[in-house]
Amino acid sequence: MIPEIQPSILRQEMLCAEMQGRPCGLIVFGASGDLARRKIVPSLFALFRRDLLSPHFYFLGCGRSEYTDVQYRQAVREAMEAEPSGTGNAERFLSSFYYLSGDYTDASFYEAIGGRLNELDRTHKVSECHIFYLSVPPTLYGSITEHLGAAGVNRCGRSVCEYLPRLVVEKPFGHDLASATKLDAQIHRHFEESQIYRIDHYLGKETVQNILMFRFANAIFEPMWNRNYIDHIQITIAESVGVEHRAGYYDHSGALRDMFQNHMLQMMSLAMMEPPPSFDAEPIRDEKVKLLRSIRPLQIAGPWNSDIVRAQYVSGVIDGIGVPGYLQEKDVGPNSQTETFVAAKAFVDNWRWKDVPVYLRTGKRLAAKRTEIAIQFRQVPHSLFASVGLDDMPPNVLVLKIQPEEGISLSFQAKRPGSKTCMSTLRMNFNYSDIFGAQAPESYQRLLLDCMLGDQTLFARQDDVMVAWTLLAPVLEAWAQEEFPLYEYPAGSESFAHADQLIRSDGRQWRSLRPS
């Protein structure tokens, strides 16, 4: 007898359904590079093992390195063997991998790509469904898209096409507002906005995605998600590592461009936006942009009176090991003025958040690795326990933990066993690894699958990027002037004096980076 399936179980399975990616060809420029090796290929293999890659899928790597198809498959196999997840079924997976070498500035390279796509489409029964992934330095975006357009592979070859070719670009999208505007114009000459997928890997993390469901699928917190109940919000992206192998890029970017303009503002917009009318890409992205447009311009009236400060790490100690300062890192200029730490105080001028401060900080070579959004609620208006010395009750804090563990934590006051008045702060913790018995999937799995499905929810839209650059443009201009100071902090510290003053002047303090 077949057991009866309970409606609640059936409903749960329906809610957990995952669609398999559509038949497509993924064409990765920079396929021999670090991002493809560490993130893109392992994420594709994870999708393959979960049966989320279509049987009609192929991967065409494009790059300057000289490989044959066989040589590239061997290079990918060796990279996969270094991964802890294992390589079961790797041969079947790699059988759909191909490679084409050439010069990104040579028009004949793109003609060869077009010819190879026609051949692979027939072999794998793919009907012109192409995703072009630019895993290359941003300086090449404009040139590659120009050549893709000239070769005609940016368009569908039929009069009616359900699946337009897609273009995936990594951050940073531009170096400032002017360069972002120029780059956007270059890309839009050949690709419509509906074809462009601007990746921010933070938006693929489970806890970041969970912000929307946590807020809008529960009746407990959303009624309190406003200025009447929330005292302030802290958003932190702290890294214990230095610039590592990225110094050449980072020294021309800095923390503001590398982390603040994209990751931090994206998390802020999800945590604070208004409820969208539906769980669809455009309504969600509309509300994110509305939130970003509501951020009050950062005050940068002078070098000593600013809502945003910067610093650079000097030598220090992390986990008992001495580490060099930023200026001693390989490929960093000896007189570099690049910031490695940014702290800011922002306000959102709308009815929901008026006068609620949002404190943001990001930095390298800090005491610990931690990424989180902490919502601190207001203290109780009147303590019933003042007569026994409990007149200053600790506030409730809700923490959305993103790295290194993904989960949610809520602190509240409760009586402990013992004397009549014995109260302490308790924490309810939810970690994905504890509940589901495994680490959350790599964020690129989610984002690559969404590209295949044509879901742009977790990708930045054109106006989103431009509003973020517009907000930070005055800061970049001010910092270009010598009178705006670049402070220092020892590697292994949690902050520096002027960042602390930014929040202490309001009678608040940063949350500790170390485990509590």
pLDDT tens for each residue of 237-280? 999 999 888 888 899 899 999 999 999 999 999 999 999 998 88
Q: What is the bridge-based pairing of β-strands 321-323 and 316-318?
A: antiparallel
CATH number of 19-170: 3.40.50.720
Task: Report the candidate in 238, 206, 198 with the shortest Cα–Cα distance to residue 439.
Answer: 206
Distance, CA of 357 to CA of 284 (rounded, Å)? 23
Does the structure show a pLDDT above 50 at 10? no
Tell me what the mean pLDDT of segment 214-223 comes to.
88
pLDDT in tens, 319-341: 889 999 999 999 998 999 999 99
**Looking at domain 203-440+461-504, which CATH architecture does it have?**
2-Layer Sandwich (3.30)
- Residue 3's pLDDT is 40
Higher pLDDT, 435 or 121: 121
Q: What is the 3-class SS of 72-127, one letter each residue?
A: HHHHHHHHHHCCCCCCCCHHHHHCCEEEEECCCCCHHHHHHHHHHHHHHHHHHCCC
Q: What is the pLDDT of residues 440-482, one digit of tens each?
A: 677 899 999 999 999 999 999 999 999 999 999 999 999 988 7
Q: Where are the domains of the chain?
A: 19-170, 203-440+461-504
Contact 372, 402 (CB under 8 A): yes
Split at pLDDT 50, 70, 90, the class of 368 is: very high
Q: Strand, helix or coil at 447?
A: helix
> Any idea which of 141-145, 378-382, 453-457 has the lowest mean pLDDT?
378-382
Mean pLDDT for 348-353 is: 97
Q: Which residues carry out catalysis?
A: 263
Asked if the model's pLDDT at residue 342 lies above 50, the reply is: yes
pLDDT of residue 173: 86
